[in-house]
Amino acid sequence: MGMSKRVGMVCGSYHKDEVERMLMWAQDEARTLKMTVGDVVWVNGSMEVPLALDRMMKTHDGAVCLGIIEKGETQHGLAMGQAVMKTILELQLKHNKPIGLGIIGPGAEPHHIEPRLEPHARASVRALL
């Protein structure tokens, strides 16, 4: 992705305060890399990310997804995370456009989250290059 490309951002609202901060860092990184930030879409959780990305890829040159999949009592988060990440890989191939993965987890514990917010957000945007 070269200069002035339009990038969209899909954000999971399950950890809204943390993900809002991730969005701020992702937008900052995009501006630093001379990308235009297009649509920002909030979804309920990781299950809703692929559809939002699929729609966004029709009007943007690339996109990032930002969110957190915490470690739960069961394997639900792990299974969901694997399914979502596989679908994101498939969407890149379908649209022939990059998608930056800024999802912390699956299996994130509370002490894992804070130190990863900014690095994951910025790296997801750099991945579009």
Q: Which residues are annotated as catalytic?
A: 76
Cα angle: 62, vertex 113, 65; to 5 degrees: 15
Provide the sign of the torsion angle of the four alpha carbons 46, 4, 23, 125, taken in this order.
Answer: positive
Task: Work out the end-to-end distance of the chain between its first and last CA atoms, rounded to an integer number of angstroms.
Answer: 5
Amino acid at 74: T
Q: From 54, 30, 28, 31, select the one nearest 41 (Cα to Cα).
A: 54
Q: How far apart are CA 63 and CA 88, in angstroms?
A: 11
Amino acid at 111: H
